[in-house]
Each structure stands twice: as structure tokens, then as C-alpha cells.
Chains A and B, each alone.
Chain A
């Protein structure tokens, strides 16, 4: 399977080519080139997946872990070395499929969405860079390679969020995303270093003999790594960058901030799962509580936001919370004995990537049509945009967890795993699932039904998006419709053995009822043109409503801590010291150098006789010095 290297090389070359030629390339040429390359990557990824899974299980009933490429890149002496290579195992192959599919769809979609934008070529170059980095992240053969690509996706995300670099909010958002995730990555890096130091390798599966001595430090290392994952996956309280990241172009939000990069944290935990479960189960459970709180918090906030992309952003945070919870509630590596969550998490990652990308792309079509993100500019759009409407509805049903759409199956497994862990966790997650159904349908009704903003629509009649944008919608909707029937457990499970998914009907019925209730309430509150119920509720609980609308003031707290405490009390004095003492010292050095160079000017007189004297004098001086010491 040596050809898998092409999966990384092709997008990289495309990045180099489009990036270097930039405006010398026609926008359409850049777009077509990028799209064709990503298409080729998608084909290769599918081919890899098919041949990998068709290749079958080995004698132990596992899909073999393959490393078709590996190069020792940086040796440190001893056994410690950083490798760069490609690792194929069920989850990395699954991720290849997810990333290349969504990326391909986004490439096609952007053709319509970004048409006529300044910097079209740059946009495609960055998309290629991101695709390469993300693919490299999932196929990493060791934790350090993963970290390298982890930072690369961070950079590409930064570049794409700040794509509209003339817009102030976009710049602020890109900086925020970069700083927050980078801050979290510091934890990741320290975790990696501790891990490398004590186990003597950066491998995902170190020798068990070596681990013996490192056991004490593994929970710490894994916990720190999770902080990095929490930053990328927008777990509370490091989630603050994701809603702002919606300043980037909408297809970017679909690709990076919904389907692929933000689940890197989940992927990281899944990748380190054997170590978590074997040596640090308590850390794993902490992640579950973090995930559950995040899911709840984000779901509540999503209920009152008015910007449709922000609703989707909080919904993403909430859904990633679900995935983390599913991983965190695992108590053993056996899917029959409390290890179900692993499979559920990966399954949900897969289905969520598809329907969330669909939702974002749908939102992109809507924004494209009304030129605004605010719900107030929408309403009654169903008659203008039938394709978007239907596909959006499919995605909403899927995320709400309605049978037989893909979200139902994956969410059901997660809830089953949660109930297996503890009933409290199960009920909390079920409640959040209900909230999910509510806020998604609130969004849906506010966009497509309800009161139409007639003035705005008269001024500029909304229209259905062009084919390049609707085709990805239809494709993703089809995937969402049928992906639930994939026997996912046959491919991915916590111990690698085939796991036959069976639906726990008690859990399924509960979750269906809760979802239906959520949808029903949303319908009652938001379907009609007047929203007396909703308004009166908002008035009644105005304190809560306002707090939720302001995302419980988390950003303000950060603002306070950074500006009032860190900047004012720490940075300002240091800056003063730097400017006056450090710079002053340097200026003094410069002044002294200058003076010295004036003083010795006479040496270079241009007079050969004097040169001779210096020459001889110098030589004799050196002799004297040598003789004296």
C-alpha cells in the first residue's frame, strides 16, 4: 500500500503549486486543480479503505496495523527518535474516508460559494494545506508526528479563519483561535515530552516492559495531552475560540470547524485509548465529565443564539462533547463489557462529520441567498430554496436522532454506553439529546418557516444556490440518510474484534421520545409567524436568557483575566523593564561599539610603513603574551 504516500503528497503539491503561482493562476484553474487533486485523494482514500478492510482480519481477529511508509526523521540517541510515516489501522482509515469526502465536497462547494472573491487562489491553496495536514495528523505513526501535523492544522485553520483579512472581526477571531489552541497545545507538548522521557519512545504502543517504570507519570502525560485535545475540540473552558471562528468562509467552517479539525481531540483520545484504559482510567472518566458539562453548556447556549452559524458552532461543541463522553465512559477495552463507548464515539464522529458538514453547507447557501447570518433576515425561506430546505431538514432530523437517519444509530450507541456507565450520566445525556432536537428545530423553523422578513426579501429576492453548491448538499444528505446502516462495529471497536451492533430498544425508545418532545416544543414555539410563547418565556426568564445569550459571560471572564490581571499586572511592568533596562543596555553597547570604531580609526591609515609597524609590533606583542603565560 505504498501509494498511500500520495494521499499526503498530492494535496501538498497542490498547496505549493497554487500557493506559489497564486494570482498568476486563473481563479477557475486554481479551483479546478485543487478540486481534482482532492478528488484524486478521495479516490485513493476510498481505495485504501476498501483494500484495507477487504484485506481481512488476521488470525487474532484483528485488522492488522500497517505502516506502509516510515522514515526516521530525527534521532535523539537511545531508542528515542521521531519518525514520519503512515499508519493504517481501522480508525485512521475511517478518518481518511471522512476527511477526504468532506474536503472534496467543500472543494466543489467553494467553487460556487467563493466565486468572485478576492484571493480565490489563496483560499484553495490553504484548503489544500489544511487537507494535507489533517490527513497527516490521522495517519501519524507516532505522537510527535501527530503533534507536528496538529500544529499544521492549527496554522491552516488560523489562515482560513482570517481569510477575510481586511475584516476586523475575522482578524480578531483568527488570533483568538490560534492563541487559545496554541495555549492548549502547550499542555499537549509537555504531555508528549513527559511521555517520551519516561517511556523512551514516542510510539502509540510502547513496550509494556518499558511502561512499568513510567506508570506513575502516564496519567499526568495523558491528562496533559487531553488538554491539547480539549483545546482543538473546543471543550469547556477552552471552547471560546470556536464560535468566533465562524468569521471564516462558511465552507471552511464546514470542513474545519465542524467535520474534521475539531474532532482531532476526540481522535487523539481514541488513538491513545489503550493507554488511557490500561493506565489512566480515572483520567478518562474526568474527560467524560468535562465532555458532559461541555455538551450541556453548549446546548443551552445554542438554544438562544440568533446567528445561525453560531447556533451550529455551539451545536458542534455539544456534539463533540457527546463523543468525548462516549470515550470517557469506557471502563474496559471489551465492547461487551463497558467498552462500547469507543465504537459509539467513532461512529458518531463519522455520522456527525457528514450531517454537520451538510448543515454548515446548507447554512452557507442560506447566507449566500440573504447575505446575512442573522435569523431576523430569514424566515419563510422554504419556498425560495427547496433543495437547501429538504437537505437541511434531513440533517436536522439526523442530529436530533430520529430513526432511520444516521444520527439515531450513533447517538443511540452513545446513550447506551452512558447508561452502562451510570444512570445519571445516561439521563443527563438523554436530556441534552432532547435539547439538541429543540434548538436544531428552532433553527430550522426560524430559517424556513415563521415570519418572513418581507422588506429585505423584496429588496433582494432569495434564490436557490447554484449546482456546484447543491450537489454536495444532496450527496451529503444521501450519506446522512443511509450511513446509519453501516455495520460500523464490524470495522471499528475498542479491542479491534468485530462487534455486532444491536439496538438497545429501551434506550432507543426513550431517546426517540425525548427527541420527539424537543421537536414538538420547537414546533409549538416557532412554527407560526407570531412567537408569543417564545417571547413571553424569554421575558419571564430574562436573566437566564440574557446570560445564555452572552454565553454565560465566559468570554468576558477571559477578557478580565487577560486584560486586567495578566496584561496590567504582569505584562506592563515587564514591558517597561524591557524597554528601559534591556533596550537601554543594548543601546549602550551600540554606543560603545560606535565610539570604539572611532577610536581605532587611525590604525587604517593607508600608509604601508605604518602597516609594517603594526604587523611587527603585533607579532612581537603576541610573543610576549605567549611567553608571559
Chain B
């Protein structure tokens, strides 16, 4: 194996490392003046990175480093989706990073975020549990720094502490699970493990423990408790990153591992997921109903969305994989649009409560409309993209015979409709004597909102997106 083979299959990660090094160097070399342009520089770099890696170059699966690192075209697509999400987060974080107390460390924000992205990429492409765990940790540890980025603010620091403690706990349990696997199979390579997986009691225990680690990242019930506190306390752009990119990466990784490694235990993990899905969707919905703080509200919304995402995973088919990637893409644009509006409002008025949004339509009609469309898409109202993505995951699960589960999920969409509409009602109907004053958000936020909006409107109607993903998912 020479360098060219590595470059052929690991081009995404190598390019990403390049971007990280460039960001580090820029941060080091550019003075206070140069930092003013940091945002433009990093966004351009990301754009180039995405443009260079968006479609898979190699059409066949391959593994390098003796099976440690696996390449498949669908992984490449997944990584592109994650990178696009990261770029959108960068775009909407500018107004926050411009504040005097974060301005001087904005470079850290970029490098930390990109490091987690790199970790996720490795996690998705892992062919060995050690690799997988390193990727996961690389995605977790910088994340806690990000959560506590506003470290002098009480909320942010508390959120960071809760995140890192929970993450440690989850990682510990996961490692424990992996060690059981090592004990029962004698290897940690995915491919070598498969024949040894037999569904013994110890392996079931191990699988559940392994699952908790990812369940924590995806924030599935009952491993979700950190979510609301962390989402509320973390800076809003970080929250949006957590709720979208981090969650999506873990969901992909979980699906890959379940299909590839735990295929012999399919009944067990389908039952496991079944319970977790029902719990996640229902419990999160019940909590979401009574949230007053929009960030907490979206935290519970994202837990319930995670439950829906698992519907695609539970099918365990290539069609499910396509639906998963598509769902995540659609969820990403909608959720980032919602967070974009929240960030803009928070940066300009400091308000994050639902009642503060009363009458937003009167003063900031454009933002209110973006928010409304994002919420329509999240709730799955046609003709927005969210409707189609929900349709596909339901179809994927239904196809595999999970009829009751799909029915429960459908019932829950009705509950979710109620609390999603509360936000729309606040913005458009409820009168308010002192609504949020009219303001003009900065160009970067506008751009990200515009991109998200385009995604919400177009992704659902352009069938080519789904078909394009589907093309590669069947090669998995």
C-alpha cells in the first residue's frame, strides 16, 4: 500500500486535515486584522473542500490499513452531507463569533468544530472498533469544549460539564461493551467478528452497552437526559451543530455497524431499536409540549426526530440507508433554518423564549416565514421536503413489516404537529405589545437561511436527490 492508494480512498479525511491545518496556521499568522477575514477564509476553504469531495470518486468499496479504514461510495455521500451541515453552521455562527468576548478565539471554534467533523468521518469509515472509538472520542472531546465555549457564562460552563460527564459515562459503558466483544470473539475487526457473533447473553449485554454510546450521541431515550440542559446552555450555533451534524454522524455510524457487524443478531437489535424508537418519539413529544424556551423546545424536538431517524435504521436495508441519508439531509436544512432564526434573534435581542416570539411576523416577517417553513418541514407538512423524507422512512420501516411501529410514529407526528404549530401561532397570531424590534441580520446568516430555505423547498420536489443517493446506497 503506497501513498497513492491512501489518497485514493481517504481523500476526504486528508483534505479535511488540510483545511484544519490551514485554519490553525491562519489563526497563528494572521493578526487581529487578519482575523476579521477569518470567516470568509474558512467558509471559502469549506466550500472548496465540499466542492472537491461532494460526489464519490471511486465507485467500488475498498478497505485500507489492513481493514482499519473502509471506503464505500455511500460513506462519501454521508461525509458530504456532514460537511455541508458544518458549512451551514459556520455561516450562521458569524454574528455570534463577532462579539468581543469570542472574537479573539474564533479560530479555536473553527478548528475544534472541524476536528469533530474529522472524528465523525473516521467513525463512519471505521472498519475496526478501535478506529471507531477513536473517531467517536475525537468527535466528543472537542465537542465539550465547544459546548463550554462561552466559558464565562454560567449556562455554557454548566452545559459543558454536563456534556463531558455524560459523554465520559457513555464512552465508558461503550468501551465496556466493546471489551466483551473482544472477549467473546477475539478480534475487533468488523469483518472478522461477524462469524463469531452468535447472540449469546454476554453479547447481548455487550451490544446494548455499545449501543448506549451511540444512543447518547444521537440522544435517544433513555440516554437523552443531557440533551435539553446542554442544548439550552451551549451557544446556539454549537447547539445547532450538536443537534444536526453530530447526531447524523452517529446515526450513520450506528446503521453501518448494525448492518455490518451485528447482522447475525438482527432480531435483537431490531427489538432494541423498536423499544428505543417508541420511547424516544413519545417521551420527547410529551416533554416538548410544555417547553417555554425555544432551544429546549428544539432539543426535545430533535430527540423525537432522532427517533424517526432510527426508523430508517431499523429497516436495515439499502433503501433504509437511502432514506436515512435523505432524512438527515432534509432534517439538517430545516433544523438549521430554525436555529438560524433563533441565533439571529438571540444575537440581536437576547431573547430565546417562545412568548418573546409573539408577533414576530409583524416586525420581522421574513424571519418569521423562514421559521414557519422550517417548522412545517420538521412537522412533515407537504409539499415541503420534510413530508417526503418522513414518507420515505415510513416506507422503509413499513416494507420490513414494522406496521405497528409506523402507526405509533404516525400518531406521534400528530402530537408533534401540535407543539410545532405553537411556535407558528406565537409568531403569526398571538398579539404582543412589545414584540422583538425589527432588525436586519448580517449577510452570512442571510445566506445560510437562504440556502436552508432552498433546501426545504427544493429537496422534496427534486426527485433526483433521492435517486442519486439511492444509486450508491445499493452498493453498500
Q: Give the CA-CA distance A594 to B289 in the complex, in Å.
A: 8
- Which residue of the partner chain, among A594, A603, A615, A627, contacts B223 with CB atoms under 8 Å? A615
A608 near B: Cβ within 8 Å?
A: yes
B405 near A: Cβ within 8 Å?
A: no
B451 near A: Cβ within 8 Å?
A: no
A619 near B: Cβ within 8 Å?
A: yes
587-629 of chain A: CB within 8 A of chain B? 590, 593-594, 596-597, 600-601, 603-604, 606, 608, 610-612, 614-619, 621-623, 625-627, 629
When the two chains form their complex, are residues B173 and A627 in contact, meaning their CB atoms are under 8 A apart? no
Q: In chain A, what residue has the closest Cβ to B220?
A: A618
- Chain A residues with Cβ below 8 Å from B287 are 597, 600, 604
Q: Give the CA-CA distance A610 to B169 in the complex, in Å.
A: 12
Q: Give the CA-CA distance A596 to B287 in the complex, in Å.
A: 9
When the two chains form their complex, are residues B208 and A608 in contact, meaning their CB atoms are under 8 A apart? no
A87 to chain B, nearest CB (A): 26
Q: Give the CA-CA distance A20 to B152 in the complex, in Å.
A: 50
Q: Give the CA-CA distance A597 to B166 in the complex, in Å.
A: 24
- Chain B residues with Cβ below 8 Å from A590 are 418
Chain A interface residue count: which class?
20 to 34
A14 to chain B, nearest CB (A): 23
Chain B interface residue count: which class?
35 or more
Q: Give the CA-CA distance A13 to B166 in the complex, in Å.
A: 57
213-238 of chain B: CB within 8 A of chain A? 216, 221-223, 225-226, 228-229
Q: In chain A, what residue has the closest Cβ to B199?
A: A626
Q: In chain A, what residue has the closest Cβ to B285?
A: A593
Interface pick from B182-190, B267-275, B421-429: B267-275
- Chain B residues with Cβ below 8 Å from A627 are 201, 204
When the two chains form their complex, are residues B223 and A604 in contact, meaning their CB atoms are under 8 A apart? no
When the two chains form their complex, are residues A615 and B225 in contact, meaning their CB atoms are under 8 A apart? yes
B440 near A: Cβ within 8 Å?
A: no
A620 to chain B, nearest CB (A): 8
Knowing A593-B415, A611-B226, A617-B222, the reply to whether A626 touches B204 (Cβ < 8 A) is: yes
- Which residue of the partner chain, among B166, B173, B201, B268, contacts A611 with CB atoms under 8 Å? B166
When the two chains form their complex, are residues B275 and A622 in contact, meaning their CB atoms are under 8 A apart? yes
134-165 of chain B: CB within 8 A of chain A? 161-162, 165
Q: In chain B, what residue has the closest Cβ to A622?
A: B208
Q: In chain B, what residue has the closest Cβ to A625?
A: B275
A613 to chain B, nearest CB (A): 10
When the two chains form their complex, are residues A625 and B286 in contact, meaning their CB atoms are under 8 A apart? no
B33 near A: Cβ within 8 Å?
A: no
Q: Give the CA-CA distance A618 to B166 in the complex, in Å.
A: 14
Knowing A604-B225, A615-B225, the reply to whether A623 touches B165 (Cβ < 8 A) is: no
Q: Give the CA-CA distance A594 to B161 in the complex, in Å.
A: 32
When the two chains form their complex, are residues B286 and A619 in contact, meaning their CB atoms are under 8 A apart? no
A100 to chain B, nearest CB (A): 31
Main secondary structure of the interface of B (DSSP, over half): helix
When the two chains form their complex, are residues A626 and B229 in contact, meaning their CB atoms are under 8 A apart? no
- Chain A residues with Cβ below 8 Å from B43 are none
**Which of A596, A604, A614, A627 has the largest number of chain B CB atoms within 10 A?**
A604
Q: In chain A, what residue has the closest Cβ to B288?
A: A597
Q: Give the CA-CA distance A614 to B212 in the complex, in Å.
A: 12
- Chain A residues with Cβ below 8 Å from B226 are 608, 611
When the two chains form their complex, are residues B415 and A615 in contact, meaning their CB atoms are under 8 A apart? no
Q: Give the CA-CA distance A618 to B169 in the complex, in Å.
A: 13
When the two chains form their complex, are residues B169 and A626 in contact, meaning their CB atoms are under 8 A apart? no
Q: Give the CA-CA distance A600 to B284 in the complex, in Å.
A: 11
Knowing A604-B228, A622-B272, the reply to whether A596 touches B204 (Cβ < 8 A) is: no
- Chain A residues with Cβ below 8 Å from B268 are 626
A429 to chain B, nearest CB (A): 50
- Chain A residues with Cβ below 8 Å from B166 are 608, 611-612, 615
Q: Mark B285-319, 1 if CB is under 8 A from A, else 0.
A: 11101100000000000000000000000000000
Q: Give the CA-CA distance A608 to B228 in the complex, in Å.
A: 12
Q: Mark A236-249, 1 if CB is under 8 A from B, else 0.
A: 00000000000000
- Which residue of the partner chain, among A593, A596, A606, A626, contacts B271 with CB atoms under 8 Å? A626
- Chain B residues with Cβ below 8 Å from A596 are 286
When the two chains form their complex, are residues A623 and B228 in contact, meaning their CB atoms are under 8 A apart? no
Knowing A597-B289, A604-B228, A611-B166, the reply to whether A629 touches B222 (Cβ < 8 A) is: no
B209 near A: Cβ within 8 Å?
A: yes
- Chain B residues with Cβ below 8 Å from A600 are 283, 286-287
A485 to chain B, nearest CB (A): 51
When the two chains form their complex, are residues B208 and A626 in contact, meaning their CB atoms are under 8 A apart? yes
Q: Mark B417-454, 1 if CB is under 8 A from A, else 0.
A: 01000000000000000000000000000000000000
- Chain B residues with Cβ below 8 Å from A601 are 290
Knowing A608-B162, A611-B225, A611-B226, the reply to whether A623 touches B204 (Cβ < 8 A) is: yes
When the two chains form their complex, are residues A593 and B225 in contact, meaning their CB atoms are under 8 A apart? no
When the two chains form their complex, are residues B204 and A597 in contact, meaning their CB atoms are under 8 A apart? no
Knowing A593-B415, A597-B290, the reply to whether A608 touches B209 (Cβ < 8 A) is: no
B321 near A: Cβ within 8 Å?
A: no
When the two chains form their complex, are residues B222 and A618 in contact, meaning their CB atoms are under 8 A apart? yes
- Chain A residues with Cβ below 8 Å from B228 are 604
B57 to chain A, nearest CB (A): 33
**Which of B205, B415, B418 has the largest number of chain A CB atoms within 10 A?**
B205
A59 to chain B, nearest CB (A): 42
Knowing A597-B287, A597-B290, A604-B228, the reply to whether A626 touches B222 (Cβ < 8 A) is: no
Q: Give the CA-CA distance A619 to B209 in the complex, in Å.
A: 7
- Chain B residues with Cβ below 8 Å from A610 are 225
B124 near A: Cβ within 8 Å?
A: no
B406 to chain A, nearest CB (A): 18
Q: Give the CA-CA distance A619 to B415 in the complex, in Å.
A: 27
Q: Mark B161-200, 1 if CB is under 8 A from A, else 0.
A: 1100110011001000000000000000000000000000
92-141 of chain A: CB within 8 A of chain B? none
A402 to chain B, nearest CB (A): 55
Q: In chain B, what residue has the closest Cβ to A590?
A: B418
When the two chains form their complex, are residues B289 and A593 in contact, meaning their CB atoms are under 8 A apart? yes
Knowing A614-B225, A619-B212, the reply to whether A593 touches B275 (Cβ < 8 A) is: no
**Which of B170, B208, B212, B223 has the largest number of chain A CB atoms within 10 A?**
B208
Knowing A593-B286, A597-B287, A614-B222, the reply to whether A606 touches B229 (Cβ < 8 A) is: yes
13-52 of chain A: CB within 8 A of chain B? none
- Chain B residues with Cβ below 8 Å from A616 are 169, 173
A101 to chain B, nearest CB (A): 36
- Chain A residues with Cβ below 8 Å from B205 are 623
- Chain A residues with Cβ below 8 Å from B162 are 608, 611
Q: Give the CA-CA distance A616 to B170 in the complex, in Å.
A: 9
Q: Mark A202-234, 1 if CB is under 8 A from B, else 0.
A: 000000000000000000000000000000000
Q: Give the CA-CA distance A305 to B417 in the complex, in Å.
A: 54
Q: In chain A, what residue has the closest Cβ to B228?
A: A604
Q: Mark A480-515, 1 if CB is under 8 A from B, else 0.
A: 000000000000000000000000000000000000
Q: Give the CA-CA distance A247 to B166 in the complex, in Å.
A: 70
- Chain B residues with Cβ below 8 Å from A593 are 285-286, 289, 415
18 additional contacts (CB under 8 A) given A604-B225, A623-B205, A626-B268? A590-B418, A593-B289, A594-B289, A597-B289, A600-B287, A604-B287, A610-B225, A611-B162, A611-B226, A612-B165, A615-B169, A615-B212, A619-B209, A619-B222, A619-B223, A621-B222, A622-B272, A625-B271
Can you report 21 residue pairs joining A to B where beta carbons are below 8 Å apart?
A590-B418, A593-B285, A597-B287, A608-B162, A614-B222, A614-B225, A615-B170, A615-B212, A615-B222, A615-B223, A616-B169, A617-B222, A618-B223, A621-B222, A622-B272, A622-B275, A622-B276, A625-B271, A625-B275, A626-B271, A626-B272
Closest 5 CB pairs of A and B: A618-B222, A597-B286, A611-B225, A623-B208, A619-B212
Residues in B lying within 8 Å of A, measured CB to CB? 161-162, 165-166, 169-170, 173, 201, 204-205, 208-209, 211-212, 216, 221-223, 225-226, 228-229, 268, 271-272, 275-276, 283, 285-287, 289-290, 415, 418
Residues in A lying within 8 Å of B, measured CB to CB? 590, 593-594, 596-597, 600-601, 603-604, 606, 608, 610-612, 614-619, 621-623, 625-627, 629
